[in-house]
Amino acid sequence: MALLPESVRDAWEHRDGPVVLTSMDSAGVPNAIYASCVSMFGDDKLVVADNYFSKTRANILADSKAAILFITADSKAFQVKGTLEYQTKGEIFDDMKQWLDPKHPGHAAVVLHVEEVYSGADQLA
């Protein structure tokens, strides 16, 4: 597992709009979704709330690798790659329930364990 560099943690706090979460099914077919209910947990995890997942949930449960793409207000793009974990209880799930707007169901906390971090073609971690 890799740590998010400080510059990326700062960029995350200044992201503009939703993130794009991309996962793959067992045949390698990608699925990309926008996600706006997101947070950082520690220095090595990004969390996306599963509010209305279908294909994405199936991909996660099939042990998909994933990427989260986000852009900052000054149009700088970052991509974080790693493995996914689907949590329906525990510390990260409980934390998600604290920041998630109660109008959303929050079925689970989807945790991306950071393995690689990029800004454009430059690998940062």
**In a 10 Å sphere around its CB, with 0-12 CB exposed, 13-18 middle and 19+ buried, how is residue 82 labelled?**
buried
Position 95, amino acid: D
Closest CA to 46 of 24, 64, 61, 68: 68
Question: What is the reported pLDDT for 78?
Answer: 98
**Tens-digit pLDDT profile for residues 16-36:** 999 999 999 989 999 999 999
Closest CA relative to residue 48, chosen from 119, 113, 103: 113
pLDDT at position 3: 94
CB 41 within 8 A of CB 95: yes
How does residue 107 score in pLDDT terms, banded at 50, 70 and 90? Answer: very high
Of all residues in the chain, the percent with pLDDT exceeding 90 is 96
Q: What is the mean pLDDT of residues 38-43?
A: 97
Per-domain residue ranges of the chain: 6-123
Q: 75-96 pLDDT, tens per residue?
A: 999 999 999 999 999 999 999 9
Structure tokens belonging to residue 6: 């400080």
Cα Rg for the chain, rounded, in angstroms?
14
Q: Considering the chain, what is the average pLDDT of its residues?
A: 96
pLDDT tops 90 at residue 1: no
Whole-angstrom Cα distance, residue 11 to residue 67? 16
CA distance readout (Å), 94 to 29, 97, 108? 31, 5, 10
Region 6-123: CATH code: 2.30.110.10
Name the residue among 91, 102, 105, 99 with its Cα closest to residue 42.
Answer: 91
